[in-house]
Amino acid sequence: MAGMAGGDYGPLFQSFSEDVRWHVIGATKFSGTITGKQEVLAKRMRPFRELMKPPLIIKARNFISEGEFVAVEADGQGVTKDGKPYNPSYCMIFRVKNGVVTEFTEYFDTDVSVTALGR
């Protein structure tokens, strides 16, 4: 989360297991479930980065941890390449096993996403 607060998503990606499952809620262009670290890079991280002016900052406000799960409440701050603000609130649920993220579920304000990025 410290990396994302500075606009660096490398540490997040590096923390994923090779068979990570990433769930994005809602009916946005990024919603759905994908599996595998390379699919995450190809279908979520790169396409999203192509729409945004760097950096997209995500700052954690609260953490809750129990067993294998870590919940993070966070706020995003960014601008799309066509100048629209992108400032969603998030709840991210990480499942961590043996020090790596095996599952990641992302809840966020889908209206902010659709308004800024389109459906």
Average pLDDT for the chain: 94
**Residue 56 burial (C-beta neighbours within 10 Å; 0-12, 13-18, 19+):** buried
Half-sphere exposure of 41 (CA within 13 A, CB side): 13
pLDDT of residue 111: 85
Confidence of residue 119 (pLDDT cuts 50, 70, 90): low
Mean pLDDT within 83-90: 94
- Averaged pLDDT for residues 80-102: 96
What are the two backbone dihedrals, phi and then psi, of residue 6, each rounded to the nearest 5 degrees? -105, 10
Inform me whether the pLDDT recorded for 85 exceeds 80. yes
- pLDDT at residue 115, as a whole number: 84
Beta strands in the chain (DSSP E): 16-24, 32-35, 52-66, 69-80, 85-86, 89-97, 100-108
Instruction: Tell the CATH topology of 2-117.
Output: Nuclear Transport Factor 2; Chain: A, (3.10.450)
Q: Is 51 helix (H, G, I), strand (E, B) or coil?
A: helix
Per the DSSP assignment, residues forming a β-bridge with 31 are: none
Among residues 116, 60, 45, 46, which one has the least CA distance to residue 86?
A: 116
How is the chain split into domains, by residue range?
2-117
